[in-house]
């Protein structure tokens, strides 16, 4: 990624940039009045913020007292690697609290399996059930009614749209988080392309929360880059199950040779794209997207991919547990967990990630434990 001064220079050159994205390419309809010195200064500050390692959890309010021990949480797992990390965060927080943790699996392509998993979890008489990523509309009216009757909260993460209220609570990494991530990546794209970029944006429509990321990216480009263009490449869980997600994106790249940027809305969805592009005879592509995974981390270090956003799924699991505690204790601060801190990862700062996963702040659990009035874990 460019230095901050270079970023500012590119933004000055770019003047005002705007893009509209859909399943077909669309040029931006009108230019803005131009980028002022104040606009450039704001972009510089934003870029500096995006590159910085997050050091604080989103929650700032301590619980009114020590939470109860001996409770239980069940996490509903959809099989995705990102969701596994969320579950790991829920499990670590549960262990620190002296709670039991278990998982039930479901097929994200089949709402019926999610509804059955909800009912199976409720039959185990848990204190809390947690889930991440599935549309609330797929839970089923009868399942939600059963939870309300049993007085068992369902705490959600990565869900939008969402209608909160007994028994639905949350949601960490929901709409507000995805708006931030979309804007950050769009600002990088505008600057890196000198205000003239064309981007393919993979969109996993089976998780509506990622539509928020998509829309935020497109809106930011449209508002600031009249010469930029975006094209959405929609995919579904069926593509994931069939192993055709990457090939669908590569096919879009082949028929749109002027689109040199490819962005994915989940790091694991881009795994294998480099070899697929080479096999298709495509080169010179700029690859990145939302939520870095080990493949993307290695690719940035090797110089074969350029930018990913970083968001700690582990912290998201801890935030889900924080919401659960506040619901049980009728404590304030539930909405503080909504926006998970993010970071732009490029060649300039990828060395800060020393493990296979992006987990910043590294001491997020200890920060939550302090607010929970329990001994800090090692």
Q: How many other CB atoms sit within 10 Å of the CB of residue 175?
A: 22
Same domain for 210 and 129: no
237 and 154, same domain (yes or no): no
Burial class (CB in 10 A: 0-12, 13-18, 19+), 51: buried
**152 and 180 share one domain:** no
User: What's the rounded Cα separation, in Å, for the pair 127 and 125?
Assistant: 7
Whether the ω angle into residue 361 lies within 30 degrees of 0, i.e. cis, is: yes
Q: In the chain, which residue ranges form alpha helices assigned H by DSSP?
A: 4-14, 37-51, 81-97, 111-123, 141-150, 175-192, 209-224, 237-242, 245-255, 273-279, 294-302, 313-329, 364-372
CATH number assigned to the domain comprising residue 23: 3.40.50.2300
Place of tokens 């009757």: 149
Q: Is the residue at 60 inside a domain? A: no
Q: Name the stretches of the chain with pLDDT < 70.
A: 1-48, 377-378
Judge if 109 and 158 occupy the same domain.
Answer: yes
Residues 182 and 245 in one domain: yes
Q: Is residue 346 in a domain?
A: no
In this structure, the answer to whether residues 300 and 186 fall within a common structural domain is yes
Question: From CA 376, how far away is CA 368, in angstroms rounded?
Answer: 9
| Residue closest to 232 by CA, chosen among 23, 18, 20, 19 | 23
Tens digits of residue pLDDT in 242-267: 999 999 999 999 999 999 999 999 99
CA 350 to chain centre: 18
For residue 34, the model assigns a pLDDT of 47
Residues 220, 284, single domain; the answer is yes
In-domain check, residue 138: yes
Looking at the domain assignment, is residue 349 inside a domain? Answer: no
> Cα–Cα distance between 101 and 123 in angstroms, integer?
15
Query: Is residue 185 domain-shared with residue 50, that is, in the same domain?
Result: yes
Residue 149 placed within a domain: yes
- pLDDT given at position 5: 39
Per the structure, how many domains does the chain have?
2
Q: How far apart are CA 118 and CA 130, in angstroms?
A: 10
Domain coverage including residue 110: 72-174+314-337+361-372
Residue 154 and residue 123 share a domain: yes
Same domain, 81 and 159: yes
Residue 356 lies in a domain: no
Q: List, for residues 277-307, the tens digit of each pLDDT value.
A: 999 999 999 999 999 999 999 999 999 999 9
Q: Tokens in use for 218?
A: 């497109």
Q: Is the peptide bond before 191 cis (omega within 30 degrees of 0)?
A: no
> 41 with 180, same domain?
yes
Rg of the chain (C-alpha set):
21
DSSP state of 17: B
């Amino acid at each position: 990624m460019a230095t901050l001064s270079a970023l500012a220079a590119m933004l000055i050159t770019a003047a005002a940039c705007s893009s509209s994205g859909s399943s077909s390419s669309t040029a931006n309809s009108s230019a803005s009045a131009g980028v002022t010195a104040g606009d450039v200064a704001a972009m510089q500050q934003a870029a500096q913020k995006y590159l910085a390692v997050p050091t604080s959890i989103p929650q700032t309010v301590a619980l009114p007292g020590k939470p109860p021990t001996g409770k239980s949480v069940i996490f509903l797992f959809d099989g995705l690697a990102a969701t596994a990390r969320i579950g790991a965060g829920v499990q670590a927080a549960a262990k620190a609290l002296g709670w039991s943790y278990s998982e039930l699996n479901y097929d994200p392509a089949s709402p019926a399996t999610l509804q059955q998993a909800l009912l199976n979890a409720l039959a185990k008489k848990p204190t809390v059930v947690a889930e991440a990523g599935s549309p609330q509309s797929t839970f089923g009216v009868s399942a939600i009614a059963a939870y309300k009757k049993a007085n068992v909260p369902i705490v959600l993460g990565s869900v939008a749209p969402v209608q909160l209220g007994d028994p639905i609570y949350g949601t960490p990494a929901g709409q507000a988080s995805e708006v931030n991530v979309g804007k950050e990546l769009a600002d990088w794209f505008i600057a890196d392309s000198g205000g003239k970029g064309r981007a393919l944006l993979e969109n996993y429509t089976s998780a509506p929360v990622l539509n928020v990321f998509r829309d935020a990216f497109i809106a930011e480009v449209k508002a600031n880059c009249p010469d930029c263009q975006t094209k959405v490449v929609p995919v579904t869980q069926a593509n994931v199950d069939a192993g055709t997600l990457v090939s669908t994106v590569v096919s879009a790249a082949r028929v749109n040779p002027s689109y040199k940027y490819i962005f994915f809305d989940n790091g694991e969805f881009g795994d294998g794209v480099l070899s697929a592009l080479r096999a298709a005879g495509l080169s010179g592509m700029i690859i990145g997207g939302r939520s870095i995974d080990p493949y993307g981390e290695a690719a940035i270090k090797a110089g074969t991919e350029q930018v990913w956003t970083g968001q700690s799924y582990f912290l998201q699991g801890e935030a889900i547990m924080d919401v659960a505690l506040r619901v049980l204790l009728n404590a304030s601060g539930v909405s503080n967990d909504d926006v998970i801190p993010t970071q732009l990862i490029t060649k300039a700062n990828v060395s800060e990630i020393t493990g296979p996963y992006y987990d910043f702040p590294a001491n997020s659990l200890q920060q939550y434990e302090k607010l929970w009035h329990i001994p800090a874990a090692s």
